[in-house]
Amino acid sequence: MAEKPQPVKVLYCPICSLPAEYCEFGPDFQRCKPWLIKNAPELYPDLCKEANEKEADKVSQQLQSVGISSADGATSSAQPGDISLSKQEEVKRLPGGKVKKKEKQEVVIEKVVRNRRKCITIVKGLDLFGIKLSDASKKLGKKFATGASVVKGPTEKEQIDVQGDISFDIVEFITETWPAVPETAIFFIEDGKKVPAA
């Protein structure tokens, strides 16, 4: 006579309430990882390796910050200034290891032709100098007797669109109206290349 089949015991994750095999497909795999390493290491051997590598990295960083040489024989002379530099670098790092670059203070002027004859002059970057874009668009519209408006560009940053080709007169107007903007910080985009106005 055949044996009775026994019920399968399934290990459920208390965090996402899924079986441990399916945690990686659940809503919050990052929170499940510590529990999986502790209770189900045979299901995710890569997690165990990853956790061991992180521990080794933490220990080597602590040793280097104190000034003790690491296992490969390289010594580091830690100075108080070095630690502050590493903290500043951490602040600029984004998720995924990307580094956030600080925006350069520059005004970019671009001429866009539409419908073969009509031009729009786009002014980007005035807000980086502390200039209110709505006031700037009003002044540009009055000076050149055209329509000027503040719009969001393709990068979700606000820019000023001025009707007409005023790209050569605009540099002098910007430097006279707002002395905080130096002429060396104004650039034109011609044929896809950034060209200094000065």
**129-161 pLDDT per residue, tens:** 888 989 999 999 999 889 999 998 887 788 899
Per the confidence metrics, is the pTM higher than 0.75? no
| Distance in angstroms (rounded) separating the CA atoms of residues 177 and 172 | 9
| Distance in angstroms (rounded) separating the CA atoms of residues 104 and 129 | 10
Q: Per the structure block, which two tokens stand in for 187?
A: 């650039």
Phi/psi at 15 (nearest 5 deg)? Answer: -85, -50
Tens digit of each residue's pLDDT (9 = 90 or more) over 11-56: 888 888 888 888 888 888 888 888 888 888 888 777 777 777 777 7
| Distance in angstroms (rounded) separating the CA atoms of residues 47 and 41 | 8
* Domain(s) of CATH 3.30.780.10: residues in the chain: 107-196
Q: Domain 107-196: give its CATH architecture.
A: 2-Layer Sandwich (3.30)
| Distance in angstroms (rounded) separating the CA atoms of residues 104 and 165 | 25
Distances 65 to 14, 86, 138 between C-alpha atoms, Å: 38, 10, 55
CB of 108 within 8 A of CB of 167? no
